[in-house]
Amino acid sequence: MKRQYFVYLAIFIGGIWGGNEIVKLVSNQDEIQQAAEITFNTQAANFELPDLEGTTHQFNEWAGKVRVLNFWATWCPPCRKETPMFIEMQEQYGAQGLQFVGVAIDEPEKVQDFVDTYGVNYPTLVGAESAIEVAKQYGNRFGALPYTVIINRQGTIVHAQSGEMTRQNTESLIRPLL
pLDDT recorded at residue 21: 42
Tell me if 91 is assigned to some domain: yes
% of residues, the chain, pLDDT over 70? 78
Task: Tell me the pLDDT tens digit for each residue of 65-113.
Answer: 999 999 999 999 999 999 999 999 999 999 999 999 999 999 999 999 9
Average pLDDT, the chain: 84
Whether residue 6 is contained in a domain is answered as: no
pLDDT of residue 2: 53
Establish if 155 belongs to a structural domain: yes
pTM of the model: 0.80
User: What are the pLDDT digits (tens) for 10-39?
Assistant: 344 444 444 444 434 444 445 445 545 556
- CATH number of the domain at 113, please: 3.40.30.10
pLDDT at 24: 40
Domain range for residue 105?
38-177
- Specify if 161 maps to a domain: yes
Q: Considering the domain boundaries, does residue 88 fall inside one?
A: yes
Number of structural domains the chain divides into: 1
Kindly state whether residue 23 falls inside one of the protein's structural domains: no
Cα–Cα distance between 151 and 12 in angstroms, integer? 46
In-domain check, residue 26: no
Q: What is the 3-state secondary structure (H, E, C) of 101-163?
A: EEEEECCHHHHHHHHHHHCCCCCEEEECHHHHHHHHHCCCCCCCCCEEEEECCCCEEEEEEEC
Q: What percent of the chain has pLDDT over 90?
A: 73
State residue 80's pLDDT score. Answer: 96
Give the pLDDT score at 42: 87
The answer to the question of residue 53 being in a domain is yes
